[in-house]
Amino acid sequence: MEKMIKFNARCYALIISNQGRLLVMKELWQGVSLQKLPGGGLELGEGLIECLDREIKEEFKLWSPLDWSHFYIPTHAFSSRFKPNEQLLLNYFIASNLVNEEDWAIIDHDPNLIEMIWLPLEAKQASWFSLESDRAAFLKLVRLKTQS
């Protein structure tokens, strides 16, 4: 791991449908195809929830307002895949309310947003994610849902 010289704070959303599936995305980031949770980078002067709300509005043309609760933060250091000298501060939030799948659609005019998918909440689906931290958040969610 290269020496890290700065932080990059990021916020990601766990949005579950009435059908018990999780909203996930395929997108291009710096030319690399990623399978990930919705969300992205915190902008200067922005709070974590403001970041999530902005990212949702930037990625989806149809969406519904959500109430967020903090869900997961990795406890070990992650460096950025694209900027190895940046340490990622990853925050995962879960929507308190379930959503209707038909009320959601990805925006059309961003060539980096490839597709949105409703992924079943099954442990075997964890391998779908490109990013280790998304897999860990997903598995925590699956464990929580199977216990309740």
**pLDDT per residue over 14-69, tens digit each?**
999 999 999 999 999 888 899 999 999 999 999 999 999 999 999 999 887 899 99
Q: If we measure between CA atoms, which residue out of 107, 91, 106, 102 comes closest to residue 21? A: 102
Give me 26's structure tokens: 């395929």
Task: Quote the DSSP letter at residue 18.
Answer: T
Give me 35's structure tokens: 């399978």
Q: Is the pLDDT of residue 1 over 60?
A: no
**pLDDT per residue over 73-117, tens digit each?**
998 877 777 777 888 889 999 999 999 999 999 998 889 999 999
Report the predicted TM-score, pTM, of the whole model to 2 decimal places. 0.91
CA dist 37 → 11, 14, 45, 108 (Å): 10, 7, 23, 18
Number of H helices, E strands in the chain: 2, 10
More confident residue, 1 or 40: 40
CATH fold, domain 6-147, is Nucleoside Triphosphate Pyrophosphohydrolase (3.90.79)
Q: Where are the domains of the chain?
A: 6-147
Q: What one-letter code names the amino acid at 8?
A: N
